[in-house]
Amino acid sequence: MRPTITAGRWCLILASQETPPLEDVTHTMVVDGVPRVLKPFGRVETELYDLECDARQERNVLEENIDVARELHRAFIEELKRLGAPVDVIKPWLRCKGLKP
C-alpha cells in the first residue's frame, strides 16, 4: 500500500522505510487456474510530481522540491491523527524513504 497525497499542483506518493525491498519479494497469483510467481518491478521510493508541468507523472521531482514533500507528508500525518487512526496505522508512515529532515 502506498498513500498518494494530491494538493494543488503536487502529487506525493509515499514509501515507508518499513517497506521491504521488492527485489526480495515474490507474489503468487492464479491466472486462468495456473499459479504464477510474480516479481515486482524495481525499488519502491517516495515520489513527488508537479502535475502542472508533468500531468503524466513521468519525472520524480522529490529532490529539488524536498520542502514541498515534507510539508505534504506532515499534513498527511496530521490528517491521520485528526481522523483518529490507530498508532499502528500511523507508525509506518512516520518515516518515509527520501524524506529525512
pLDDT tens-place string over residues 65-78: 999 999 999 999 99
* Domain residue spans of the chain: 4-93
What is the band of 35 on the pLDDT scale with cuts at 50, 70, 90? Answer: low
Work out the average pLDDT over 43-68.
91
The three-state secondary structure class of 70 is helix
CATH number of 4-93: 3.30.1120
pTM, two decimals, is: 0.78
Q: Given this model, what pLDDT does residue 69 score?
A: 96
- The CA distance from 76 to 4, in Å, is 9
C-alpha cell at 100: 529525512
